[in-house]
Structure 1
Amino acid sequence: MILSQPRGGKTRHSIQLLERERVLLTAKSITDSARGGIGGALFVVGAPGLGKTSLLDAVSHRVGPEFRVGRGTADPMESSLPFGLLDQALIGLGTRAIFELKESDRGASDVRARGFYSLLRWFDRACSGPLLLALDDLHWADPDSLALLLFLCRRIRRLPVAVLATLRPWPSAADEVCARLVQAGQARLERLAPLSDRGTRSFLAARLGYPPPEIEVRRSARLCAGNPLLLDQVAASIECGEDLGRLAADEGGRSAGEVSRSLLLTRFAGLPAAALRCIRAGSVLGTRFQMEIAVEIAGLRDAEVDASLEALQRSGLLRQLSGSWVEFVHPLFQQALYDDLAVARQARAHTEAFGCLVRRGRDAEAAEHAARSDLVDSDQALAVLERAGRSAMRVGALMSAVTHLSAAADLAGARAKPELLLALGEVLLAAGRLVDAIAVLERLEPHEAAGRDNAVERASAGVRVAAMRLIAHCHYGLGATDKASLAFTAALDLAGALGESAEVPVLLDHALACWITDGPAVALPLAEEACARAPASGGPARRARAVSGFVRLLAGDPSHLGDLAAAARAAQGTQRGPVADLAELSYTWSAASGHALAAAFTERFDEAEQAFRVGIEVADRIGAVEAMASLQMGYAYSTLLRLGRLQEALHTVDKVSDLAEVVPLIEQPAAFAHAYVLLLMDRLDESDAWCRRGETSAETRPGWWPRQWGWHVRGMRHLREGALDEAAEFYLRIEAETARQGIREPCLLPWARHAMAAHIRRGHTADAVRVVEWLERSAEGLPCRWPRIAAATGRGWLAEAAGDDARAQACFEAALAHHDQVRLPLERVETLLAYGAFVRRAGRAVRARELLREALDLSERIGARWLARQAHEELAVAGGRRRRRDEQPQLTAQEQRVADLAGSGLRNQDIAGQLSISTKTVEYHLQRVYAKLGINSRRYLIEMRARGAHRKDGEPATG
């Protein structure tokens, strides 16, 4: 069978020439950029029948053989088919691996993240030449394809990939995706307008071969509202001698949709009854269908089949695709036929389609028909919906899985099996619908075991344990930690009936959740209980001891780090190597990641770097995106930043941020990592923007560690700018949270040095003493040097404040001696700045300049411009620069600093605190500033600072 007339062929003149060329020029700019290695996306929006498909055809033809083209067309009957639209397009590009993942015991959210990341990686590695994704009728796309398209369009700028998609404004889901991308500057948008009256006249003249009478033009414009496809049907009616006046008269009282459907249905009027039944059956199957299925649904006799196919071939309403597949030449024809069916007939037709597809083993397509059919009490429909939902889960098509499993649960009602509700709850959790997930999972109420087989009861109990764990995760995601703890306790009680081996995973899950939200104070007892209940040997015992060893370190006890290292070695030694360990990653933790973090916190940086690199490489290879994001984040925070590799840290955090859409848990720590490294680079506006972004995320996501990093960044900024009360407030908050959570590993977040500086500068030495004593107690049992460095620095500041310069000197020297035993370049700069400023204040300018020059050189070498600027200013105060002899008397470096701070509005006592001098010294400097500048009050300083008038050539740059 050969069916003619390509889809959209009659609409090649459907857009006014200038508008068509405008859109084609925009598309050309997108494809030209992709040809040059810069990806982009263009969305063309317009009402049906305006020629969007012909535009897509034209662009696909114009790019030529240089481009590989992946073409996909969405279909309303495939709107819940997992990745149905993008699957078509990717077949054209030569890949389907993302949608053929093997069944896994991973959670649905990580399977989805793995698939998204795998596709991005495929584009990155396969793009030897430019690619075009040409997507038609995006408004009918399945929601998973829309989510994946959104993910890709946000990341293809660095790839030679052009995306061109056409859509109608309604249904609105696709239009909303386009709007988000356009608003973010990640795509361009063109909207097609219907033909004007003048365009209608030109179209009809071209179609009929003569200028139509004006009355027919006006009637046609009113009937068709500028839609070229409908105008084509009107022209056909005119050619057949139909009375256009009658059509216009019939319009009264009918909606625009009813009028357009009547016009389109005139194309089917001449078909034989059997052929019409066949094409109506096809409309139930969608815009694309297999003819033999339509024949079966229509119930055609053998004698009717050939005549019907011949009539459909001549009609020009269908076109041939590959094999026995055919397609309506325009979706409006399919829509008109389908809408013309009575509702009851539609339901029966979907029931028949369901049976045909099930018999052919096509569950995913059959599921859509089951949801639209009248199969109310069908066990077969229930089974198909559940199978389709689980299949969608396995490839990470969360929205399709939610659709099918929800339909199955609704169909089953009170008969819904626990396994079905558990699967639906898991996929709702993965899709971020936490409240809905809780409601579904709470339907799994415990019940009596009387009269039930023990094996069946144990299986049911296992399902209920899993459900309570998922409920706990939902509550944690909603920030309801108390409810989460209650859910974990309930899960533990249920697991008790299954034996201690079933209790260990629940306890570990609870412990790992708690260390993220409540710290080791809550997590450690749970980890210890897991160790007590675990068997003497084997994987569960190793994992329990590893979790306990990690949490113990956070609590200041490194004595069990050997258990953590042994678990990491055991994971490396298994048949699957570290793959198995990463596949078990829970709450951003595995034995591999825990070992790497512990090595970094205890300053075994070579060991940490090796562990992180191996873990990241394995996670990347197997597509374990949650594990990879977690490992990269830990690598940036614990190792790269502490080693002063700022550019590398920023690059790593950028990559993590790219994954935040599919690993939402990583968004908050990635934002604060950006804020911290950009602060050190002196990119203050960017740092502040990322900090605000992290703070916004912190409002909805639990997690003390990233939130405290945000407080630390704010505290550092306030401290540097002389806002000592504000700085101290942030550090008091961190200190209180640290105590509440039982954290005794100061390297987890190195806040203590800056806290002591803020407290001492504002004259609150008791607060500084409390922090330094916490550092010293923590350092007693830990092998790391940084707590000793920070404590020695704090003791030096306290000794100076007490007037004991000899003691202060010894403390600062002790801090530098500790630095000689460990690589901590950023911290060394901080120590050199503190020591150099003390020596300068003690009147030893030569020694001060030596220390400050080292701080300046080191900070510039590692790219820490924020610290370099501080070192530059301190060096200038210490006399590290000379004024030109021909200059008039200028401000000294210290006078300049006092003038700057006073001009910014700070009080004398605030200036004294920031510069570690007395208030009387501030007043003395201000009097000299006023005399030199010829002014008599602070008001003039503020005005001059605004104009930059008092800044002289000899002052260090601040940018």
Structure 2
Amino acid sequence: MSSPERARGGGAAPTPADERLAAIAAALLAAPFPVDAVGVVAGLPERRADAAVASLVRDGTLLTEDHGRARFADAAAAARLRADVAPTARRRMHARAARELARRGRVAEAAEHALEGDVAGDGELVELLERSGADALRRGAIDRALRVLGAAVLARGDEARPELLRGWATALLAAGRAAEAGDAARAALLHPALDLPGRIDALGLLGRAEYLTGAGDLGATALDRAVELAADHDRVAAVGALLDHATTGWAVAGPARALPYNERAVAMAQDGPEALRSRARVSRDQVAAECGDHAALRAAVARGVRLEPEPVASSRTTTELVSPVADLYPYAHAAQFADLLDESLAALDAALERLVEAGADDAVSMVELFRANHLIRRGRLAEALRGADRARQLAGTPLAVPVARSLRDLVLARRGARQEPVAVPTEGVAWIVPLWHAWAEGIARLEERDPRAADAFARMERRLADAGVREPNHTPWFAQGVEAQLLAGRRDDAGRVTALLAELADGHPGVWPAFALALCRARLAEHDGDLDGAIAGFHEALARLGSVDLPLERAVAQLALGAALRRSGRPVDARAPLSAALATSEAAGAGGLVRLAAGELRLAGGRRRPARDRDAISPAELRVARAAVAGLTNAEIARTLHLSPNTVATHLKHVYAKLGVRGRTQLAAVGLPADADAVASD
């Protein structure tokens, strides 16, 4: 007799006790459950179980479904039944459910019951937890892996096998629990049954954990040992250990520390499979680009433009995406350096969605930091602040927490929220922490016209030099630094910074370095009394920036141009750039720039107009919208404007939302602004 027939069949009337046991078993199995598993979980013989289930179906307590499954009609009633069962009886029934579901191949469901059962001393159920946890880790389900593997480790106690401990350490690292991950890796390394591949992996895990908890020397020692062991036995593991070394070295000291490990990884991967060679090259090109290698930057961008961020993100496991060297992140950074801003953000957004879904909190914190840093540049300061706050809330390691705090301070500085400078530790923290703190202080003092801004920017310059950063777009401080040095009367230092930028900008594929160089030279000309040359230089800077979506940079140049025009006796001409600078600054919420632009506009005799709509269409969105109205398909727009199809679709979605239309027909009907300069930037 089939299960549905059993459920519907007649037979002898069940006893109330059998019927209650069957109902409890069904409630514990949860919906929808296999009908013929109820008797096993309840501990009833088959005939008595069939009669009890049939009675529950007849009275409407259970509803049958296809394929021999059933569910409770009243979920609240099922919850009450579960709550009424004595804990010891409930654990026994959960254990029976785990075994029965595992026998049917439903390992994930079985593991959930094992978690609720009494698994201590039950090797079968602990083995089930280990298999389910390892599968969750492979799929990137970090939250689930933590729960299941943690229960298995607890149940095994001192008998935990090295592969279980390594899996547990991997899950802990992905969740940002680095100190616990280090403990698990050490326990694995002490296990007598640990083989060579396992030892290499455990050393890599320990090295990353030590770095993340601030013990950089111990982390380096562990990773060096992993490389040494793997070099002659496992090329893939050796390359992985070198890339871990590069990543953690970058976090502690900057790209100059990381690059030698990247170069070794590329050399070691040379005769390996293409996937390994590509992984090593992607990481090396990103770090080399930060060290000022423009050819590496072009290579990283060229490789990345072949990535469609959403498909690539969906094809990577969460375990891959939690690594800072996953191919999506080097491309996102390189794309930002080359002013491919929409492509950079699309890559980060795609990764973030996957990581949030998986519950990989520490990796979510990392990507939120990447996004917030990106959004600061684009003048989306409120969004950047939310990202920095979320990164700070989710950061789970001593290395990550101060990074998130310092980025938040940088956002606040750009918003004009004045904070007194605080003493920042320089030892035991990531190199970028004192860098960002100095930048935030420099911005705040510069916008207050405090000459001490020059000292803050000088500290920044030293930090960047020590870290080996020679990519001008990595930390775009040069124009601010020159302005601060001139404010302090340090003409020679301002000239030196300008010369350094000229050296670093030579041959750069991006727009910003040429823009910043023109701006710096114009400021020097103005300081030297050449107002006509300065005005021409500020015009040149704006022309070089073009329509790249860097609104705060544009506002700074507009403010400088307007101020120079006013000082040259042309207040009427000054009002247009000053009004534009004010509107853009207000739209971005950049309070310090707002105050400066408003003050200059008053001196020029202009009137302050209401801030433009913060949801106004950006120049980049306007270009895409115009092409769509002209009848081009998304693919044609992408080819014409040198964008990815994903970016075109995203721009159109934003335009539709901002204009309240549902498609191209309505977009054509409402019309678009004729002048991109009249449209506020995001």
SS of corresponding position for 2:544: coil
2:86 maps to amino acid: Y
Tell me how far apart the structure 2 counterparts of residues 405 and 483 of structure 1 sit (CA, whole Å).
Answer: 26
Measured at CA, do residues 274 and 589 of structure 1 come closer, stay the same or move farther in structure 2, by a change above 3 Å? same
Tell me how far apart the structure 1 counterparts of residues 148 and 480 of structure 2 sit (CA, whole Å).
Answer: 54
SS of corresponding position for 2:294: coil
Measured at CA, do residues 601 and 443 of structure 1 come closer, stay the same or move farther in structure 2, by a change above 3 Å? same
2:464 maps to amino acid: T
Q: Which residue of 1 aligns with 2:477?
A: 751
CA positional deviation for 1:755: 3.1
Question: Is 1:338 aligned to 2:86, yes or no?
Answer: yes
Show structure 1 runs of 5+ residues with no match. Answer: 3-271, 450-456, 882-959
Measured at CA, do residues 278 and 839 of structure 1 come closer, stay the same or move farther in structure 2, by a change above 3 Å? closer
Q: Which residue of 1 aligns with 2:176?
A: 432
CA positional deviation for 1:444: 1.8
Q: Is the 8 A contact 2:262 2:280 kept in 1?
A: yes
Q: Which residue of 1 aligns with 2:569?
A: 845
Q: Which residue of 2 aligns with 1:741?
A: 467
Q: Which residue of 2 aligns with 1:612?
A: 344
Tell me how far apart the structure 2 counterparts of residues 579 and 776 of structure 1 sit (CA, whole Å).
Answer: 41
Question: Is 1:854 aligned to 2:577, yes or no?
Answer: yes
Q: Which residue of 2 aligns with 1:560?
A: 296
Q: Which residue of 2 aligns with 1:534?
A: 269
SS of corresponding position for 1:748: coil
CA positional deviation for 1:522: 0.8
Tell me how far apart the structure 1 counterparts of residues 317 and 23 of structure 2 sit (CA, whole Å).
Answer: 48
5 Å-filtered alignment, 1:136-215, equals: none
CA positional deviation for 1:523: 1.4
Tell me how far apart the structure 2 counterparts of residues 590 and 297 of structure 1 sit (CA, whole Å).
Answer: 45
Please give the per-residue CA displacement for 1:637-696, whole angstroms capped at 9, x wherever unaligned. Answer: 55x765xx646x76688689789878989999898888777876xx65xx579x99xx99
2:169 maps to amino acid: G
Q: Which residue of 2 aligns with 1:491?
A: 226
1:434 maps to amino acid: A
CA positional deviation for 1:705: 4.8
CA positional deviation for 1:735: 2.5
Q: Which residue of 1 aligns with 2:448?
A: 721
Aligned match for 1:381, one of 119, 125, 128: 125
CA positional deviation for 1:554: 1.4
Measured at CA, do residues 397 and 637 of structure 1 come closer, stay the same or move farther in structure 2, by a change above 3 Å? closer
Tell me how far apart the structure 2 counterparts of residues 634 and 333 of structure 1 sit (CA, whole Å).
Answer: 48
Measured at CA, do residues 335 and 817 of structure 1 come closer, stay the same or move farther in structure 2, by a change above 3 Å? closer
Show structure 2 runs of 5+ residues with no match. Answer: 5-12, 608-682
Aligned match for 1:417, one of 161, 168, 173: 161
Measured at CA, do residues 731 and 652 of structure 1 come closer, stay the same or move farther in structure 2, by a change above 3 Å? closer
Measured at CA, do residues 418 and 769 of structure 1 come closer, stay the same or move farther in structure 2, by a change above 3 Å? same
Q: Is the 8 A contact 1:660 1:667 kept in 2?
A: yes
SS of corresponding position for 2:476: coil
Measured at CA, do residues 776 and 494 of structure 1 come closer, stay the same or move farther in structure 2, by a change above 3 Å? same
Tell me how far apart the structure 2 counterparts of residues 849 and 491 of structure 1 sit (CA, whole Å).
Answer: 68
TM-score by length of 2: 0.66
Question: Is 1:512 aligned to 2:250, yes or no?
Answer: no
1:390 maps to amino acid: A
SS of corresponding position for 1:560: helix
Q: Which residue of 1 aligns with 2:17?
A: 276
2:145 maps to amino acid: A
Aligned match for 2:186, one of 427, 434, 442: 442
SS of corresponding position for 2:233: coil
Q: Which residue of 1 aligns with 2:632?
A: none
5 Å-filtered alignment, 1:280-299, equals: 295-296=39-40
Measured at CA, do residues 662 and 285 of structure 1 come closer, stay the same or move farther in structure 2, by a change above 3 Å? farther
5 Å-filtered alignment, 1:201-240, equals: none
Tell me how far apart the structure 1 counterparts of residues 166 and 317 of structure 2 sit (CA, whole Å).
Answer: 24
Measured at CA, do residues 400 and 533 of structure 1 come closer, stay the same or move farther in structure 2, by a change above 3 Å? closer
Aligned match for 1:712, one of 421, 436, 439: 439
Please give the per-residue CA displacement for 1:319-372, whole angstroms capped at 9, x wherever unaligned. Answer: 435455568947566545525xxx6x7776665555444444454454466567
5 Å-filtered alignment, 1:71-110, equals: none
Aligned match for 2:599, one of 870, 873, 898: 873
Q: Is the 8 A contact 1:756 1:772 kept in 2?
A: yes
TM-score by length of 1: 0.49
Q: Which residue of 2 aligns with 1:820?
A: 543
Q: Tell me which moved more, 288-297 or 488-497.
A: 288-297
Tell me how far apart the structure 1 counterparts of residues 26 and 206 of structure 2 sit (CA, whole Å).
Answer: 39
Question: Is 1:594 aligned to 2:330, yes or no?
Answer: yes
Q: Is the 8 A contact 2:352 2:368 kept in 1?
A: no
CA positional deviation for 1:481: 3.5
Q: Is the 8 A contact 2:200 2:226 kept in 1?
A: yes
Please give the per-residue CA displacement for 1:120-148, whole angstroms capped at 9, x wherever unaligned. Answer: xxxxxxxxxxxxxxxxxxxxxxxxxxxxx
Tell me how far apart the structure 2 counterparts of residues 869 and 447 of structure 1 sit (CA, whole Å).
Answer: 64
Measured at CA, do residues 849 and 789 of structure 1 come closer, stay the same or move farther in structure 2, by a change above 3 Å? farther
1:820 maps to amino acid: A
Tell me how far apart the structure 1 counterparts of residues 239 and 54 of structure 2 sit (CA, whole Å).
Answer: 69
SS of corresponding position for 1:745: coil
CA positional deviation for 1:520: 1.2
Q: Paired residues, what number?
A: 573
SS of corresponding position for 1:386: helix
Tell me how far apart the structure 1 counterparts of residues 181 and 476 of structure 2 sit (CA, whole Å).
Answer: 38
Measured at CA, do residues 778 and 878 of structure 1 come closer, stay the same or move farther in structure 2, by a change above 3 Å? same
Aligned match for 1:523, one of 237, 250, 258: 258
Tell me how far apart the structure 2 counterparts of residues 301 and 563 of structure 1 sit (CA, whole Å).
Answer: 69
Q: Which residue of 2 aligns with 1:24?
A: none
Q: Is the 8 A contact 1:446 1:464 kept in 2?
A: no
2:487 maps to amino acid: R
Q: Tell me which moved more, 562-571 or 511-520.
A: 562-571
Q: Is the 8 A contact 2:392 2:405 kept in 1?
A: no
Q: Tell me which moved more, 408-417 or 489-498.
A: 408-417
- What is the CA RMSD across the aligned residues, in angstroms? 5.3
Tell me how far apart the structure 1 counterparts of residues 488 and 332 of structure 2 sit (CA, whole Å).
Answer: 38
Bigger-Rg structure (1/2): 1
Q: Is the 8 A contact 1:792 1:811 kept in 2?
A: no
Q: Is the 8 A contact 2:395 2:401 kept in 1?
A: yes
Measured at CA, do residues 448 and 723 of structure 1 come closer, stay the same or move farther in structure 2, by a change above 3 Å? same
Q: Which residue of 2 aligns with 1:320?
A: 62
5 Å-filtered alignment, 1:911-930, equals: none
Percent identity reads 28
